[in-house]
Amino acid sequence: MVSTESVAAAMGAGKYAQALEEACIRFGIVSALEKAHFLAQVAHESDGFKTATEYASGAAYEGRKDLGNTQLGDGKRFKGRGLIQVTGRENYRTYSLWKYGDERAVLNPAMLAELPDAVDAAGWYWTVARPKIPALARADDLVGVTKAINGGRRGLIDRGERLAQAKKLFGIA
């Protein structure tokens, strides 16, 4: 059996490879198919593991009450971070309360771009914040997984290419 760490490394995960292996175990992402979907999505969201911080300024999220961005500057402060680009004050708050029992990620949003939180926030989003994602991944529903992560089909071609690569590396293509 091929390890998640070796597949992640082959996909360019670098410093994140071992943490992704550990996260899959911790978050119950165990089937090769679900792991392939998870790695494909985080690879896309992080621009091939080049960044754990969204390139855009975050200004587009300003005033987005659906993200909990209710204070001036929240859009930029709580722009996408982590390998799955967790976005918005409320998501940062909910993640922080889940992991730490306090609001430290709200007080220091940049921590979501650093290990271990960059990977842990992705695992949390995949299994806790969006609990329907694992079943969609196990059903091999790329469109469904993509919509659950970003609300639409943005980047679908790239996500599909990364999924094909991950499946091949896991030996399930």
Residues 41 and 63 in one domain: no
Residues 9 and 37 in one domain: yes
Residues 68 and 93 in one domain: yes
Domain count for the chain: 2
Residues 46 and 63 in one domain: no
Residue 173: per-residue pLDDT: 82
Residues 37 and 63 in one domain: no
Residues 99 and 134 in one domain: no
Residue 94: per-residue pLDDT: 98
Residues 45 and 76 in one domain: no
**Contact 35/166 with Cβ under 8 angstroms?**
yes
Residue 1: per-residue pLDDT: 79
Domain final residue pick, 113, 136, 155? 113
Residues 154 and 131 in one domain: yes
**Contact 69/75 with Cβ under 8 angstroms?**
yes
Residue 129: per-residue pLDDT: 97
Identify the CA nearest to 156 among candidates 141, 139, 173, 167: 141
Residues 145 and 66 in one domain: no
Residues 126 and 159 in one domain: yes
For residues 156 and 144, what is the distance between their CA atoms, to the nearest angstrom? 11
Domain final residue pick, 95, 113, 131? 113
What's the chain's Rg over C-alpha atoms?
15
Residues 63 and 47 in one domain: no
Taking the chain (173 residues) in runs of 10, the rounded mean pLDDT of each run is 95 98 97 98 98 97 97 97 97 98 98 98 98 98 97 95 98 91
Residues 45 and 128 in one domain: yes
Q: List the domain range (segments joined by +) for residue 66.
A: 59-113
